[in-house]
């Protein structure tokens, strides 16, 4: 069997930045274990599998080691491929069925906009484990649906953090997000997911479903600019409305090709 596969740098306006995602187009079903093997072979933070034979089109996301319920950058990458290569299926907007419900993606002036469910984090008691992980005491610790959020004082602290990944694997969540006010944007962040096989994710759309509502409450504004401070880096525009988070960003297609599986 041959499958079309693409790689897209998401939340990027130039190659070799943002977060790279693989997009595999499925015209018929394949086994879950085959999807997981393809994702492991790609060794990217996520590989998206887009079933164009289903109506509505469905999407699933796999890290090199497991399936996840929501992934922003691989959704943006998948939508870019559908809009560019499958115009009969995707015109000005597209709906993708997923484990997190139906996700709507629209074309906007400077890229694509993801319509995602909000994840309102709740403040929790301080835990000394997070001081050990970060080497610094967070100003506040919160828990969202999937991740912990540690709020720090400023952008410089975010830039300088070197987490203890062996301790981070003990956290009872998908991972840990750290965030602070930005120097030239509303907020900055970094995201760590060692349990999912990703020590630091370059740009994490799904984390912004938690980050955007937190900073919207702190800054008393519904439209925010964000910068994820990984080595590759990425910028996102976030807007809150009707209990949804609208996350916009650019993307660049790196390659298109065909993979063969037995």
Structure tokens at 156: 């410089």
Rounded to the nearest angstrom, the gap between the alpha carbon of residue 156 and the centroid of all alpha carbons in its chain is 23
The gap between the terminal CA atoms of the chain, to the nearest Å, is 6
- CA atoms within 13 Å, Cβ hemisphere of 10: 34
> Pick the catalytic residue: 46, 93, 223, 225?
46
d(CA 236, CA 257): 28
Residues whose CB falls within 8 Å of the CB of residue 185, separated by 6 or more in sequence, listed in order: 224, 225, 226, 227, 235
Q: From residue 149, how far is each of 38, 45, 135, 226 by CA, in Å?
A: 31, 20, 15, 15
For Cα atoms 67, 208, 142, give the angle at the middle one, nearest 5 degrees: 90
Residues 208, 201 contacting (CB under 8 angstroms): no
d(CA 218, CA 12): 27
46 is catalytic: yes
Active-site annotation, residues: 46
């Amino acid at each position: 069997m041959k499958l079309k596969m693409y790689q897209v740098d998401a939340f990027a306006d130039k190659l070799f930045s943002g977060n790279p995602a693989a997009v595999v187009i499925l015209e018929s079903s394949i086994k879950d274990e085959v999807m997981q093997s393809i994702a492991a072979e790609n060794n990217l933070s996520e590989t998206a599998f887009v079933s164009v034979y289903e109506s509505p089109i469905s999407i699933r996301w796999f890290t090199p080691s497991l399936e996840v319920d929501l992934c922003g950058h691989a959704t943006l990458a998948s939508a870019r491929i559908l809009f560019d290569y499958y115009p009969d299926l995707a015109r000005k907007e597209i709906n993708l069925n997923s484990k997190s419900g139906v996700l709507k993606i629209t074309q906007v002036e400077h890229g694509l906009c993801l319509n995602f469910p909000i994840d309102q984090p709740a403040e929790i008691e301080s835990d000394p484990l997070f001081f050990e992980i970060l080497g610094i005491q967070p100003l506040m610790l919160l828990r969202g649906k999937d991740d912990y959020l540690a709020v720090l004082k400023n952008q410089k602290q975010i830039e300088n953090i070197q987490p203890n990944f062996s301790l981070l694997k003990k956290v009872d969540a998908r991972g840990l997000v750290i965030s602070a006010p930005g120097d030239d944007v509303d907020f900055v962040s970094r995201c760590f997911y060692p349990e999912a096989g990703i020590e630091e994710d370059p740009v994490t759309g799904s984390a912004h479903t938690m980050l955007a509502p937190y900073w919207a409450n702190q800054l008393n504004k519904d439209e925010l600019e964000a910068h994820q401070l990984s080595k590759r880096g990425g910028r996102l525009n976030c807007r809150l409305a009707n209990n949804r988070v609208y996350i916009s960003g650019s993307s660049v297609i790196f390659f298109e090709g065909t993979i063969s599986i037995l």
